[in-house]
Amino acid sequence: EVQLVETGGGLVQPGRSLKLSCVASGFTFNNYWMSWTRQAPGKGLEWVASITNSGGSTYYPDSVKGRFTISRDNAQNTLYLQMNSLRSEDTATYYCTRGSYVFAYWGQGTLVTVSS
Amino acid sequence: DTVLTQSPALAVSLGQRVTISCRASKSVSTYMHWYQQKSGQQPKLLIYSASNLESGVPSRFSGSGSGTDFTLTIDPVEADDIANYYCQQSNELPLTFGSGTKLEIK
């Protein structure tokens, strides 16, 4: 059974940093692209970042480019999202998702709240 | 960016057929996917590449369309289908989602 478990969310002040982790199990992690998608409270879904299976290439929308960094450790079956210079508009539940352009598996999400 | 437009809400009677629409601001070929999100849960993939049913999804769900106009059909609607439904395009980066359609029961 595919499982994706996110951790690392919490309350953080504007301008500060936070790093999310996602531990994957139930599939061969290094065979798949991985992504992060977020959802602000009561709002819709927004793609945040994707990374190739080797980790050699990464992709971001303009809203987070230069502030967020997606990475992975294939030996540890773990996906990361380093978030710097956080803003109030980054407040959201962050989901770890398996896939490059379509997301068949989602974690339960971790809530990030950016507030002073 | 490709903007996806969905109606905010739809009300339907149990046992009836409902179609949820998604219009893209430019052609996405058939690179359109549909997700269901129930209250307090993560999204679930229903349909990929416009018309392909994801494994384990009931055959009551179907998708159609190409280019800029797409539909998700549920026939017949069951009480368990009450949720928000999102379309998502993967024709170009950035990947974008529609704002969602809330399905309600009359």
Percent residues over pLDDT 90 in chain A? 99
Determine the residue of chain A that is closest to B100 in CA distance: A44
Whether residue A100 is predicted with pLDDT greater than 90 in this model: the reply is: no
- Mean pLDDT for the stretch of residues B22-31: 98
Interface test with A, best of B42, B57, B99 (most A CBs within 10 A): B42
Q: Give the confidence band of B55 by pLDDT, cuts at 50, 70, 90.
A: very high
Determine the residue of chain B that is closest to A40 in CA distance: B99
CA nearest A99: which of A27, A48, A61, A51? A51
Q: What is the reported pLDDT for A56?
A: 96
Whether B28 and B48 have beta carbons less than 8 Å apart is answered as no
CA nearest A57: which of A35, A41, A38? A35
Residue A97: phi, psi to the nearest 5? -135, 145
Q: Give the confidence band of B53 by pLDDT, cuts at 50, 70, 90.
A: very high
Amino acid at B44: K
Q: Give the confidence band of B57 by pLDDT, cuts at 50, 70, 90.
A: very high
DSSP state of A27: S
Of B42, B48, B98, the CB nearest to A108: B42
Q: Does the CB of A8 have a partner CB in chain B at under 8 Å?
A: no
Taking contacts as CB-CB distances below 8 angstroms, the residues of chain B near A109 are: 42
What is the Cα–Cα distance from A23 to A96, expressed in whole angstroms? Answer: 9
- Mean pLDDT for the stretch of residues A93-102: 95
Whether residue A57 is predicted with pLDDT greater than 90 in this model: the reply is: yes
What mean pLDDT is reported for chain B?
Answer: 97
Higher pLDDT residue, A100 or A36? Answer: A36
Q: What is the reported pLDDT for B106?
A: 87
- Mean pLDDT for the stretch of residues A12-17: 98
Determine the residue of chain A that is closest to B88 in CA distance: A102
Q: What is the reported pLDDT for A43?
A: 96
- Mean pLDDT for the stretch of residues A68-79: 98
Q: Which residues of B touch A (CB under 8 A)?
A: 31, 33, 35, 42-45, 48-49, 54, 86, 88, 90, 93-100
- Mean pLDDT for the stretch of residues A39-62: 97
- Mean pLDDT for the stretch of residues B81-101: 97
Half-sphere exposure of B44 (CA within 13 A, CB side): 17
- Mean pLDDT for the stretch of residues B87-101: 98
> Please, what is the end-to-end C-alpha distance for chain A in angstroms?
40
Q: Does the CB of A27 have a partner CB in chain B at under 8 Å?
A: no
What is the Cα–Cα distance from A4 to A105, expressed in whole angstroms? Answer: 8
Whether A70 and A80 have beta carbons less than 8 Å apart is answered as yes
What is the Cα–Cα distance from B77 to A28, expressed in whole angstroms? Answer: 36
